[in-house]
Amino acid sequence: MYNIIDNFDKKTPSEVNVNIVKLNCGIDIKTFQIETVHDLVQFIGFGKYINNKIGNVYFRGQTSLYDGKMIPSLYRGKTKLDSITMKYNKRIKNVISSNKLFNSYDRSVFEPLVQHYGVKTPYIDLVDNVWVALWFALHQAKVVAINSHEYVYYYDSKEEYSYIVLMISDALQETSKSGIYQGKNTTLVDLRKATPSFFLRPHAQHAYMLRKNDQYPGDYSDLIVGIAKIPTRLGLKWLGQNEFLTLNSLFPAAYFDSGYKMLLKTYPENKQHTVNEFGSIQILTD
């Protein structure tokens, strides 16, 4: 059983700023409103500390709590998880076998890698860098599918609050494959160890990818151990102007990201009607 943050020694007033959210798994969890960088660092540190005998805590930035759900991209909006999984497995096997370079990567590395560039999979994106998580919490995305690609536009969040969600993984044992960690309930991939740095984006974002070991991992909300609620105006102030935390840095253009360029050239394109099902190698726009 994981240890959910129920309280911590917050220096700013806390009781009036604590709300209860019902997670999709049925658990009630407090969200703590955070108004200083010190409280945010302490909150994350506390979540890691109280779970240090159980697993490692990572986090993700979100502009919404999505009604307590934590659903991987492959299963969002889907009800027949077995059917979509079967179709997805067939497609991903065909993609890997269709290209000599793709075939050189183990599927357990290839899937989380291509998700990082827009393909829908059963994995959840996580980081172990608070500033990267904060950037994603503070930026919303608009996506439009045109022909065989999705085009993505990021902009400052218009929401009053932004969220950093803490999630735990029991995947502590590194396998024979570098960067892949196995646990009883989860598998964790450190893309910085598992993939070469010419795939620049996952290295820029300090990327981890998490997968539950269930056959159809349709919801990950039971792995949430803490939620920080941050006023967006404060978060944008904390982020400031930092070259490492710009769209161009976190999503390097294909000119700099050779792996991205290769995927744009060689990843099999979907027909437009299947892009919503399986995603695509996304193209970022201004």
Task: Specify the DSSP class assigned to residue 126.
Answer: E
Q: What is the pLDDT of residue 275?
A: 85
Q: What is the pLDDT of residue 9?
A: 80
Quote the CA–CA distance of 105 and 78 in Å, as a whole number. Answer: 28
Q: Would the pTM of this model clear 0.85, i.e. be above it?
A: yes
Domain extent for 179: 15-277
User: Which residues does the chain have with pLDDT short of 70?
Assistant: 13-17, 272-273
Q: What digits encode the pLDDT tens for the residues 248-264? A: 999 999 999 999 999 99
Query: Residue 241 falls within a domain, yes or no?
Result: yes
Query: Residue 184 falls within a domain, yes or no?
Result: yes
Q: What is the pLDDT of residue 148?
A: 84
Query: Residue 8 falls within a domain, yes or no?
Result: no
Query: Residue 273 falls within a domain, yes or no?
Result: yes
Q: How many domains does the chain have?
A: 1
Q: What is the pLDDT of residue 13?
A: 61
Query: Residue 249 falls within a domain, yes or no?
Result: yes
Q: What is the pLDDT of residue 100?
A: 85
**Percent of the chain residues past pLDDT 70, beyond the cut:** 98
Q: What is the pLDDT of residue 152?
A: 96
Beta bridge partners of 230: 162
Query: Residue 159 falls within a domain, yes or no?
Result: yes
Helix 37-50 to helix 130-137 angle (10° resolution) is 120
Query: Residue 121 falls within a domain, yes or no?
Result: yes
Cβ(151)–Cβ(144) under 8 Å?
yes
Query: Residue 5 falls within a domain, yes or no?
Result: no
